[in-house]
Amino acid sequence: GYIYAKHTEQEYKLTEALTMDEIRYGKEVSDIREQVVAYAKQFVGNPYVWGGESLTNGVDCSGFVLCIYKKYGIKLPHYSVAQSNCGTKISTSELQPGDLIFYANSSGTINHVGIYIGNSQVIHASNPKSGIKISTYNYRTPVKCVRLLPE
């Protein structure tokens, strides 16, 4: 037999609810991580200035990281080598948005830092020509990754 649809009720139960941010960034990404990434992205296109600490007038790579995290109450030194010794060391396979990625020169000395933003991308104050920009996280070979934010 048949039953008219108007005389029935359909119910769907999900095994687990996800927020839109969890769908967008992954289940393990916290709100603070999303906020850090969104805040950092506002400054794409702004200038690179060696030693700078102004997100609008110019920053270098470690100055950019310093300024972004300062907004969230995390104090960092203004030097990429020193920043690499803050937080908890993690592997590239453990990267989550908001984690720091460090790069080295040909002699193996850390000389650059960026913020991982998810989807295999990093935001960083690159150089005087391109300023603050987004790149693939492995545009150079990462030598160290560090977690500053809570899980």
**Which 3-state string (H, E, C) describes the chain?**
CCCCHHHCCCCCCCCCCCCHHHHHHCCCCCHHHHHHHHHHHCCCCCCECCCCEECCCEECHHHHHHHHHHCCCCCCCCCHHHHCCCCEEECHHHCCCCCEEEEECCCCCEEEEEEEEECCEEEEECCCCCCEEEEECCCCCEEEEEECCCC
- Which position has the higher pLDDT, 22 or 40? 40
Whether the pLDDT of residue 19 is over 90: the answer is no
Whether the pLDDT of residue 29 is over 60: the answer is no
**Which tokens go with 67?**
């300024």
CB atoms within 10 A of CB 22: 15
Contact 127, 59 (CB under 8 A): no
124 catalytic residue (yes or no): yes
Active-site residue (options: 78, 86, 124, 145): 124
78 catalytic residue (yes or no): no
Whether the pLDDT of residue 58 is over 60: the answer is yes
Question: Per-residue pLDDT tens for 71-125?
Answer: 999 999 999 999 999 999 999 999 999 999 999 999 999 999 999 999 999 999 9
Whether the pLDDT of residue 27 is over 60: the answer is no
**Which tokens go with 38?**
């969104």
61 catalytic residue (yes or no): yes
- Which position has the higher pLDDT, 16 or 91? 91
Active-site residue (options: 61, 78, 86, 145): 61
- Which position has the higher pLDDT, 149 or 40? 40
What is the pLDDT at residue 21?
A: 52
- pTM summary value: 0.81
How much is the average pLDDT of 117-139?
Answer: 97
What is the pLDDT at residue 28?
A: 55
- Which position has the higher pLDDT, 124 or 26? 124
Q: Which of 128, 130, 125, 87 lies closest to 103 in space, CA to CA?
A: 125
Whether the pLDDT of residue 23 is over 60: the answer is no
If pLDDT is split at 50, 70 and 90, which confidence band does 147 have? Answer: very high
